[in-house]
Amino acid sequence: MLVSKLVCERMKEVPQDAKIKSHILLIRAGFIKQVAGGIYTMTMPCQKMSQKIQKIIREEMDAEDGQEVLFPVVMPRELWDQSGRYSSIGDEMVRFKDRGGRDMLLGMTHEEAAVHLVNHTVSSYQQLPVMIYQLQTKFRDEARPRGGLIRVREFTMKDAYSFHSDYADLEKYYYRMYDAYYRVFKRIGLKNFVDVKSDSGMMGGSIAHEFMLITPDGEDSIVFCNDCDYRANMEVATSVIAKGERVDEEAHEIFTGDDKTIEEVCKRLNIPASKTVKAVVYAVKGSADELIVAFVRGDLEVNEAKLKKALGKNVVAYDGGISEDIVCGNIGAIGLSDKLIKVFDKSLQGESGMVTGANKPEYHIAGVDVDRDFGVKEFVDIAKAAAGHRCPVCGGTLRVENGIEIGNIFQLGTKYTASMNMTVNGPDGTAFNPIMGCYGIGVGRAIGSIAQESNDDYGMILPMSVAPWQVHICALRYDDDAVKTKADKLYADLQAAGVEVLFDDRNCGAGVKFADADLMGMPIRVVISPKTLASEEVEIKLRRDKNAERVALDGAVAKISELIASEMDALKA
């Protein structure tokens, strides 16, 4: 491909709305162009990169007996009513009426379509397990698309669905996919990624893992143990917290004036936050009257994902509207209205000598023994793990890092096959609901993640396996006949040898050419110029290296082919 012809606008300026590195670089290199919020056109280099990633994904899915199919983007409401997701998914799903007035939607994932296809088509347990997958456009109406290709509204996704006779078979297959995911991410050149246990969210089901690229710009928080293998998405991470010393004291009201926050109360009473009880109020989404008070120890935070799971309800932060049952800043479990749903975190169990709100202005209650005074039936885990907490597995110290989710796998169970009445016949002829797993990778996010991880101050450093072109030739003084002749020949020879080449044939200065080559990030840069040709040489440099190497022109194709092979070797799974 000739740079002079490439529809791809490079720019020096950092785009205004781009905050993270991958977003800045993909825009600056002209790989993507925004059409609307979270909606991009991919230019040729980005689309080539996307296709290389897709090819690697296909190879790994096919290796796990996957059958590639194509589900529709637009689906009828009826299908999603069967699973219940037409109503359970919120505004992120686009719904519209077709010209016949029928309710349609843009698919966010394709569990329903997968069950629709496999139902009847597979009728006997003997055909199981089967896995089907697709690479298809998805649209999710994200409230706040951001980060370039990291959080978009429209994207290409690989989504896979497996069907099994029993949980043991799902488990076995699930870990084959788990391994396949490691191979995919390794092969596309990602380096610092891990799998973490995660919440199954809107997918339903029980066990789930996310694959996370570790990066400070990531929006997800991941809890790691410094001393063992324990790691989990913050949403599901658990931790062990040291209990306070036992204090025998009667509960008694104390005047706390206008001090309402944990910080203020602790300061006034000269106690640590761990001796207080924090009360956080939530509302149930779509149910104006249902208020929830979550109690955790004052030095901890409420983990909303865990709270939602514990309640089986979609809770949102309480907007502070008027409720006669709540005295903001002085809420406590003693004497609190029965109209409120109360949830108590495990961190409070057994704690004594605690300070909690008195449910009236200007007063708290001190000397509280949680087990004695709160009348708690059940303590549940709704606290956020935090750096410095103890590991639930080994007791080691936990730390928290940020990450970008690059893939996820779920054990769905029978959520969809049961709700959609899909059965197959078992060995004794009895019909049963197959057990499902599902497995997703966002292709655009993979591109964003690669750009996020592999770069330097000058631009992207693309891995050989996914770079749009393997080699970027900079022909300096291309208006010089000798340069033109030899550069054209090198370009032709490399292509004849099966090498993918981007060839900067423009009549512009070396500075512009080098800057573009660095920005776009092809793994090998070749410079051919009057200077190199004086000794019948070219200059070859790996994008990631500082120093270039001079190579005889007639050995350049062989040298470049070697470099490509060795780079590819390093990316083998």
**Contacting residues toward a second copy, per CB under 8 A:** 1, 4-9, 30, 33, 35-36, 39-44, 46-48, 50-51, 65, 67-76, 79, 91-92, 94-96, 98-99, 102, 104, 106, 113, 116-118, 120-122, 126-127, 130, 132, 134, 136-137, 139, 141, 143, 153-154, 156
Closest to a second copy by CB, 62 vs 549, is 62
Shortest spacing between CB 467 and a second copy, in angstroms: 16
Closest to a second copy by CB, 137 vs 566, is 137
Shortest spacing between CB 283 and a second copy, in angstroms: 20
Closest to a second copy by CB, 237 vs 475, is 475
Closest to a second copy by CB, 153 vs 445, is 153
Joined tokens for residue 47: 């689309």
Pairing of strands 220-225, 398-413: antiparallel
Gap between the Cα atoms of 25 and 426, Å rounded: 54
Gap between the Cα atoms of 385 and 392, Å rounded: 10
Gap between the Cα atoms of 198 and 87, Å rounded: 24
Shortest spacing between CB 37 and a second copy, in angstroms: 8
Q: Which helix (H) or strand (E) holds 288?
A: strand 287-297
CB atoms within 10 A of CB 282: 23
Q: What residue type is 364 in one-letter code?
A: H
Closest to a second copy by CB, 89 vs 269, is 89
Gap between the Cα atoms of 462 and 468, Å rounded: 9
Q: Which helix (H) or strand (E) holds 537?
A: strand 537-542
Shortest spacing between CB 561 and a second copy, in angstroms: 22
Closest to a second copy by CB, 8 vs 277, is 8
**Residue pair 77/102 in contact by the 8 Å Cβ criterion:** yes
Closest to a second copy by CB, 169 vs 259, is 169
For tokens 């296709």, what's the residue? 51
Shortest spacing between CB 406 and a second copy, in angstroms: 20
Gap between the Cα atoms of 427 and 1, Å rounded: 58
Closest to a second copy by CB, 65 vs 536, is 65
Any alpha helices (H) in 504-544, and if so which ranges? 510-520, 530-534
N-term to C-term CA, the chain: 29
Shortest spacing between CB 104 and a second copy, in angstroms: 8
Pairing of strands 74-76, 501-504: unpaired
Shortest spacing between CB 106 and a second copy, in angstroms: 8
Gap between the Cα atoms of 27 and 40, Å rounded: 10
Shortest spacing between CB 143 and a second copy, in angstroms: 7
Closest to a second copy by CB, 30 vs 298, is 30
Closest to a second copy by CB, 7 vs 497, is 7
Shortest spacing between CB 324 and a second copy, in angstroms: 34
Gap between the Cα atoms of 235 and 142, Å rounded: 19
Shortest spacing between CB 395 and a second copy, in angstroms: 45
Angle at 295 between CA 343 and CA 402, to 5 degrees: 100
Which residues lie across from 220 on neighbouring strands?
Answer: 403
Angle at 202 between CA 200 and CA 206, to 5 degrees: 30
The region, left, alpha or beta by phi > 0 then psi within -120 to 50, assigned to residue 324 is alpha
Length of the chain: 573
Closest to a second copy by CB, 114 vs 302, is 114
Shortest spacing between CB 93 and a second copy, in angstroms: 10
CB atoms within 10 A of CB 1: 18
